[in-house]
Structure 1
Amino acid sequence: MKALSIHNINKYFYEPEKFQVLKEVSFEVEKGEFVAVVGKSGSGKSTLLYLLSTMDTDYEGRISINETLVTGLKQNQLSAFRNEHIGFVFQFHYLLPEFSVLDNVMLPALKLKKHPKEQIEHKAMELLSLLDIKGHEHKKASKISGGQQQRVAIARALINDPAIIMGDEPTGNLDSKNTEIVFEIFRELAKERGQTIIAVTHDDEFAANCDRIIEMADGKIIL
């Protein structure tokens, strides 16, 4: 099953003048594949991830996620689709610092309203255990280490069982030990749970260990 299909994507910026940032980008990603998107700054990789995240809808071409055509959907439809099918892990964890670790993880599922609160809490605790942060669940998110915060962000990304986890420099702020931990978590999620991971990264070693590398230059895929 295809987790992601992208056909002939063109994207333009119009400030300060018209500039084509993505040019005829097409590729597919299988369910359970762990893909790194690499390229120099300005190559278009972060712009591409932003389109795949469905947050930017101003492009030419077609994007299907989990065999649903998301191109052309209205903003409220995209917002609901995103919350259910896509998990995000950024370079900065974007946790709510005054909330507890547990509350941060539960938030997207409470928003989705698919399951009762007790069930969501149980699932969140399972994820915290899986990511080796059990015992920290009642601490404020601001009171744990950077590596732990990034693992909490991964747990939050997983709470709704998304089809795809998208990472924008997910290890960019971490030391080598925590980078390795996060990589192994992603590897296990792809292999054991069949979750698809697409990560934009500048880390050559991280990319080299992924299932596949998509390399971009000047708005095109070159590899």
Structure 2
Amino acid sequence: MNAALSARGISKYFHEPETFQVLKEVGFDVAKGEFVAIVGKSGSGKSTLLYLLSTMDTDYQGSITINGTIVTGLSQNQLSRFRNEHIGFVFQFHYLLPEFSVLDNVMLPALKLGKKSKEQIEAKAMELLAMLDIKGHESKKASKISGGQQQRVAIARALINEPAIIMGDEPTGNLDSKNTKVVFDIFRELARERGQTIIAVTHDDEFAANCDRIIEMVDGKIMP
């Protein structure tokens, strides 16, 4: 299998208020172009797992490989650059900069990466906004568009550096059913048409049921 992500023997402990094992020998692969939902009750370890996969938390046992690179053991500076280049994030709350324009919000990660000229980045951002049906809003402040539009801007921002994987943490958790369907359909199309790998933690049973595969977490383990 051509894996976009491989996790091997992932164990994680919390030490406050007392030592508690939150992930227990978790291992799985996600293929390139696969759309995977991670589900489970609160406290099952799904959000902790996503946090480790996203390289934000490095305090674990086991190994994580993303896009052919073993990210376990890399320095914070190396991880920060790797994240910006290889992982796109879509959260429950869009985390746009409210006083910046829609276009500026989308361009930011690419400007930070510094691999392309500002003109190339702007052209790519406009192409993504058109694809996500927000063209015409690019000069508006991010705070002046609707919640559903803000989440689409967040998806455009996640795609700007052409990442290997998009990771979603409850990406539709703050949206009504109409906008949830819009966001799901965007992800579905990205996976099918563009070969984009997507891993999303969700509480939404319908969202999960329509993904390519469901990884169910119970008490820190993946259900067989």
1:28 aligns with 2:29: yes
Question: 2:101 and 2:160 mapped to 1: Cα distance?
Answer: 15
Q: In structure 1, what is the equivalent of residue 148 of structure 2? A: 147
1:16 aligns with 2:17: yes
Q: In structure 2, what is the equivalent of residue 158 of structure 1? A: 159
AA aligned to 1:100 is S
TM-score (norm 2): 0.99
Question: 2:58 and 2:177 mapped to 1: Cα distance?
Answer: 36
Q: CA deviation at 1:67?
A: 1.1
Q: In structure 1, what is the equivalent of residue 179 of structure 2? A: 178
Q: In structure 2, what is the equivalent of residue 47 of structure 1? A: 48
Question: 1:68 and 1:194 mapped to 2: Cα distance?
Answer: 19
Question: 1:62 and 1:121 mapped to 2: Cα distance?
Answer: 36
Question: 2:169 and 2:42 mapped to 1: Cα distance?
Answer: 13
Q: How does 1:34-113 map to 2 (within 5 A)?
A: 34-113=35-114
5+ residue gaps, structure 2, are none
Question: 2:144 and 2:158 mapped to 1: Cα distance?
Answer: 20
Question: 1:195 and 1:111 mapped to 2: Cα distance?
Answer: 22
Aligned residues: 223
1:4 aligns with 2:28: no
Q: In structure 2, what is the equivalent of residue 118 of structure 1? A: 119
Q: In structure 1, what is the equivalent of residue 223 of structure 2? A: 222
Deviations 1:21-52 (A, max 9, x none): 00000000000000000000000000000000
5+ residue gaps, structure 1, are none
Question: 1:20 and 1:127 mapped to 2: Cα distance?
Answer: 41
Question: 1:83 and 1:45 mapped to 2: Cα distance?
Answer: 22
Question: 2:44 and 2:79 mapped to 1: Cα distance?
Answer: 26
AA aligned to 2:63 is R
Q: In structure 1, what is the equivalent of residue 194 of structure 2? A: 193
Question: 1:112 and 1:24 mapped to 2: Cα distance?
Answer: 34
Question: 1:55 and 1:35 mapped to 2: Cα distance?
Answer: 20
Q: CA deviation at 1:89?
A: 0.1
Deviations 1:115-143 (A, max 9, x none): 00000000000000000000000000000
TM-score (norm 1): 1.00
Deviations 1:120-178 (A, max 9, x none): 00000000000000000000000000000000000000000000000000000000110
Question: 1:160 and 1:192 mapped to 2: Cα distance?
Answer: 17
